[in-house]
Amino acid sequence: MISLHTSPLDQPGTGDAGGMNVYVIELSRRLAAQGIAVDIFTRATASSLAPVVEVADHVLVRHVAAGPFEGLTKGELPGQLCTFAREVLRTEAAHPLGHYAAVHSHYWLSGQVGALARDRWGVPLVHSMHTMAKVKNDALAEGDTPEPLARVIGEEQVVSAADLLVANTDIEAKQLIELYDAEPGRVEVIHPGVDLSVFAPQPKDAARWALGLPGDAHVLLFAGRIQPLKAPDVLLKAVAVLLEQDPTLRSRLVVPVVGGPSGSGLEHPESLAQLADELGLQDVVRFVPPVAQAELATWCAAATAVAVPSYNESFGLVAAEAQATGTPVVAAAVGGLTTVVADGRSGLLVDTHEPRDWAAALGRLLSEPDLAARLGEGALEHAREFSWDRTAERTLAAYERAHELMRYEASDEVAS
């Protein structure tokens, strides 16, 4: 595995750490449980990090020194690709020939390194985009920064080089084919999973007591990185509309925002808190630093609803995790969220980012407890469709298929 720009050991919810971090570590653990040893290469961001960390039986995280440990932005990382790639190749050279059977790269920066390793080692490259510049630029949040042309070109190169592309959803597969000219026969749709042993139903009263929340509160939760793409401001503006329409809600309304600044949100890390002040929500909104998965599960279980108002999501792991606790999700009808959230069955999808539309959807769950209960039951049922064990099984089959595609391509070249 190559996860150059963010380590699977980093705490999701801040910086560049998010659903991809969870994806890499959980998939690696499940592959190891099926007898596949996994090395995860990531860039070292502190001198105190051990060169190699064993995170589970047969799962190693290898910290590669490439550039300064701190202060390097994601936009500056392309300048460290050669150094990073050299260290990856050097690690393989210390082992017997054929030590690695496949390379699975995550995000376009890793794909650039993976393409070099593929050619050098003669093994297939499987790549997961996680996010795509062309998709993001087509749905920019107000004030967000477009992805640079260098990333677009880099992604096109990785799509061309990969033996197999793993898409999280049918929508992502279609985007790869239509926007990046990926060969349909080289795109495999594999849903990410949820750790159903962690994200499981909990008594709502007990979850709220553990977090210091009133038992009778209306709890509207946002969990994720605080940046324009994730649109937590849409939730706050919707809450302001709800309170304008019904001021009596204020005494019972709690809006936890669990996460930290990320991406272009780092340029104005206090902007969301300032917005809460401007909207008069100081007594309603609670800012909570990123938390471990077990505590996040408690926050989800404590919520009346979880809001995912992102402008784009390749999958939307938080939505799947929330549903696994039996909590309905109100999500934007974009990208993978239309797969993760079953509209009217496990939650509600909103076609716009207009605060009044979001207030209407959230207000339904607050005013119609029977609807909230029914969607909560549907959320629990829908979440069972997303299992990391199933993801690992299908990914392992994708590695085998990538080998076949590579062999076919090689034989075709010889024949011609």
Is 35 marked within a binding site? no
Backbone angles phi, psi at 356, to 5 degrees: -70, -35
Instruction: Give the pLDDT of the chain (416 residues) as one tens digit per residue.
Output: 999 988 888 876 666 667 899 999 999 999 999 999 999 999 998 889 999 999 999 999 999 999 888 877 888 899 999 999 999 999 999 999 899 999 999 999 999 999 999 999 999 999 999 999 999 999 887 778 899 999 999 999 999 999 999 999 999 999 999 999 999 999 999 999 999 999 999 999 999 999 999 999 999 999 998 988 899 999 999 999 999 999 999 999 999 999 987 554 444 448 899 999 999 999 999 999 999 999 999 999 999 999 999 999 989 999 999 999 999 999 999 999 999 999 999 999 999 999 999 999 999 999 999 999 999 999 999 999 999 999 999 999 999 999 999 887 776 665 66
Is 74 marked within a binding site? yes
| Amino acid 262: pLDDT | 57
Residues 411 and 216 sit within 8 Å (Cβ to Cβ): no
List of residues 6+ apart from 193 with CB closer than 8 A = 26, 27, 30, 386, 387, 388, 389, 390, 391, 392
Is 175 marked within a binding site? no
Domains of the chain: 2-193+388-415 (3.40.50.2000), 204-384 (3.40.50.2000)
| Amino acid 267: pLDDT | 41
Is 303 marked within a binding site? yes
| Amino acid 415: pLDDT | 60
In this structure, are strands 59-64 and 52-56 parallel, antiparallel, or unpaired? antiparallel
Residue identified by tokens 């784009």 is 312
Distances (CA, A) of 7 to 1, 49, 385, 394: 11, 11, 27, 23
Is 18 marked within a binding site? yes
d(CA 249, CA 142): 29
DSSP label of 251: G
d(CA 329, CA 243): 20
Both structure tokens of 219: 């709890």
Is 183 marked within a binding site? no
d(CA 137, CA 23): 24
d(CA 124, CA 122): 7
Q: List, in sequence order, every beta strand (DSSP E) within 139-280.
A: 164-167, 187-189, 218-223, 253-258
d(CA 352, CA 309): 9
Is 230 marked within a binding site? yes
Burial 133-154 (b: 16+ CB within 10 A, else e): bbbbbeeebeebeebeeebbeb
Is 32 marked within a binding site? no
Is 45 marked within a binding site? no
Both structure tokens of 376: 């909560």
Closest to 310 measured CA to CA, from 274, 348, 287, 337: 337
Is 17 marked within a binding site? yes
Burial zone of 54 (CB within 10 Å; 0-12 exposed, 13-18 middle, 19+ buried): exposed
d(CA 403, CA 50): 33
Residue identified by tokens 């979880």 is 306
d(CA 347, CA 353): 16
Is 323 marked within a binding site? no
Closest to 213 measured CA to CA, from 302, 150, 308: 302
Closest to 199 measured CA to CA, from 15, 411, 379: 379
Is 291 marked within a binding site? yes
CB atoms within 10 A of CB 106: 28
